[in-house]
Structure 1
């Protein structure tokens, strides 16, 4: 039985963040998170009516345990206070808007897990504004395009998650995307008969696409999982990035493949010239296989929104098979 946080768990933490006059009057656990708990905390006695608390507890993580190739793999699931704080510092240094950090505690003095208290960006996700307020959404999309330009323009001679690079731990696998895609393919084939029937052809196609990619010695700063659900819009209409723990230096084409998938026809506002088409081809197939294997793996556990995850896996199965020549 999973135990989630309530008023009695978070009151002391939020009071430390906002001051002794603060009183917690309500706690809502927000839907959608699969690696950490996200709570909206309602308060009295302070200028802020609400704050958000991130909780990195084992009971908040719905992903079944898997053997990873190593901690330096930037595409391994990213979660925790350390990568969050490293990403926060990196994005702040670029002027990229993220929720204001009010308190971080990795010593577990205030709660049984690592936690952070941040500003509650009350404008809602960009995703919901496309239909309800297209003018505001268009302005925020332009703001996001500027953020991406700043991020992708920040360069590094090494690739890897920013918290690992800060620790001087370099990613060691030059064929990282190919290796992970082949593992995703093997995992998906064990769960879906259609992928299993085409596994040899998909594996050959991945290797063929990877062989066409020329080496590169410089990488850009990317979010790694940037859909419109990971962009909030603040009261001034500015885009605010969330779920930033996976921030890394990597081929910017990886980001653009994900942006293209998640923003659809609106991707044109975020597109940029000069991307490597060979990387885009490899990354598109790798991303599709990841979006089959990942959701199916999540369904091995007790993730609550099961129809949604199954829909993602089904759609990306069809799209991956359509990429075969």
Structure 2
């Protein structure tokens, strides 16, 4: 259901409560539908700020793109759509509300996952992305903050992809041109596309940019730290400069490291596809150690970095 409504209608039919998260032109709030007393996550998009973003990025996305996108998606690993409506100044998208918060906050609160748990959670994330890619949808903003958890209890939690505000449908290999997303998860070709466009040259990226982002997510899930430092971030990404020779990786299997390397391959043509990822041998390993000790001061400091840097919703233009 979608309709143009008044602000009075919104306040009569919805109890819009606390902020759950925010982005460049929107915020997500806990909303309770008055008639049913049902909780939903309500994304509130500021139309003026959206159009400013659209013009600045030369984006082809429309104001209704996200609502139209998630209406078409039906997968247990993706947040479910409920309804959308709009006032003169704002657009509201009501979606499934889950109790477990997001993946980034869980990692900041509990350190890295054990490899066994990471394998289960990451496989479900990859399965959801496979559903998207099989429908020729590119998410373009995969990151731990956009992966919601159904529970705070590890044994019962399941991940769900959220925030399709930058997603594109019916994408060919290099159809995406807009410089968007969150910098710590940019694939090298996203940065190259912006620089080439700035220089008047053709460029583009596609589904493989999502695969790089999955590699960054897995790196963080297994180590509790980001793969790249903030200083010189874009050059580190372009060169593929990340490391496993820190204490956080001491108990991680060679197969897991190999999967991260193959997802974070600088050349998108050499990077694993979504189906190749699901066929990787890491998913067939027997259970590994359940507890990873990472209580040295360096690990604590870098987990703080993880929250400050990869948790920041940055959209600084890339300049050569």
TM-score (norm 1): 0.48
Q: Which has the higher contact order (CA 8 A, sep 6+)?
A: 1
When you count helix as a share of all residues, which structure comes out higher? Answer: 1
Q: Could you tell me the TM-score, scaled by structure 2's length?
A: 0.48
